[in-house]
Structure 1
């Protein structure tokens, strides 16, 4: 059975690489590794979400499925008086996210291992950001959307990026079911990717 980036403990031999990325006007040096998502550079879907996400300067943010950290680290720059919790099931990704935060001098973040919301019981956030692990399957993706409601503050929002051909219409329908049709908005689209924002009342 082949290993996926959503494996808890990757067995693939480590092969770290470091690259520069400019995201939302900030320059980052990011290190990735074998066995994590998009190891060769920040993927296009994450870039689309990064360019469109909106955060208050003091927002309490969750980056769910953070990988080596690009979305969460940009969020931390956009919310300098807030805090970003970055979680991933992949322990190698979590270690990279911590290292990348330190390497870029970003202190208002915490990276921790969690299977979706498992380690976040009782915690709520102003914003949840996610580039869902599509290869993990529809059940996992829909859990991200459904369980987000239990982890958002009143007035909080869930932002996701998803490709049209990989289930965007289904994801939008699930969000409307969970949050209500009038609480879900398509914020933008780019090369087949859709950004959806769902807001808590």
Structure 2
């Protein structure tokens, strides 16, 4: 049985495949592989979040659970004067994200293999993006939300996408617990997916 994408070292045999995607008007050449999330193409949830996410063109951005990079690399295109850090627990995914950045000549990016925020401890960002690892379980997803708060600058925002049937109501409740009810908003919905933006209060 193949391991799922929330694995540090996938054991499934490599079977790379390439495709193209147009995200926020930018064409991207992408290569994926077995053992990574949504290997056959950019998943609908990530596309929905990519369409909604907003930030300054000089923002510092963290993509948590970057996979092979479609969200983080699109963010890098949208923030040409900023910087995007792409992290994932999956070594194969991070390697692919680096490869795809090079393939598309995107240079305002950096990468790290990281279990949640482990590799960026003590660092803060203007924006955190995540299509949370639902397969890892609710405890991991809710930990991601809780730790995101301390990795945002005051006024910074966490953007996540989650399916209603895969825990959107409990995710919303957790986000409101962490960030405060007035600081969490549903900013979009598409075919059962919910996009939530949570803002760390100015201090």
RMSD: 0.7
Corresponding residue number in structure 1 for 2:40: 40
The answer for unaligned runs of 5 or more in structure 1 is: none
1: distance between equivalents of 2:127 and 2:88? 17
SS of the residue corresponding to residue 6 of structure 1 reads coil
1: distance between equivalents of 2:112 and 2:33? 17
Shift of residue 65, structure 1, vs aligned partner: 0.1
Per-residue Cα deviation, 1:96-116 (whole angstroms, up to 9, x for no partner): 000000000100001110000
2: distance between equivalents of 1:184 and 1:23? 25
Corresponding residue number in structure 2 for 1:143: 143
Shift of residue 55, structure 1, vs aligned partner: 1.4
Q: Which structure 1 residue ranges, 4+ long, deviate > 2 Å from structure 2?
A: none
The answer for unaligned runs of 5 or more in structure 2 is: none
Mapping for residues 84-99 of structure 1, pairs under 5 Å: 84-99=84-99
2: distance between equivalents of 1:149 and 1:20? 34
2: distance between equivalents of 1:186 and 1:15? 37
1: distance between equivalents of 2:108 and 2:55? 14
Shift of residue 165, structure 1, vs aligned partner: 0.2
2: distance between equivalents of 1:103 and 1:112? 18
The answer to whether the 8 A contact 2:2-2:11 is kept is no
1: distance between equivalents of 2:92 and 2:135? 18
Corresponding residue number in structure 1 for 2:25: 25
Corresponding residue number in structure 2 for 1:76: 76
Corresponding residue number in structure 1 for 2:167: 167
Per-residue Cα deviation, 1:62-110 (whole angstroms, up to 9, x for no partner): 0000000000000000000000000000000000000000000100001
Shift of residue 3, structure 1, vs aligned partner: 0.7
SS of the residue corresponding to residue 99 of structure 1 reads helix
Shift of residue 2, structure 1, vs aligned partner: 4.6
Shift of residue 58, structure 1, vs aligned partner: 0.2
The answer to whether the 8 A contact 2:2-2:12 is kept is no
Shift of residue 196, structure 1, vs aligned partner: 0.2
The two structures have a TM-score, normalised by structure 2, of: 0.98
Per-residue Cα deviation, 1:153-179 (whole angstroms, up to 9, x for no partner): 010000000000000000000000001
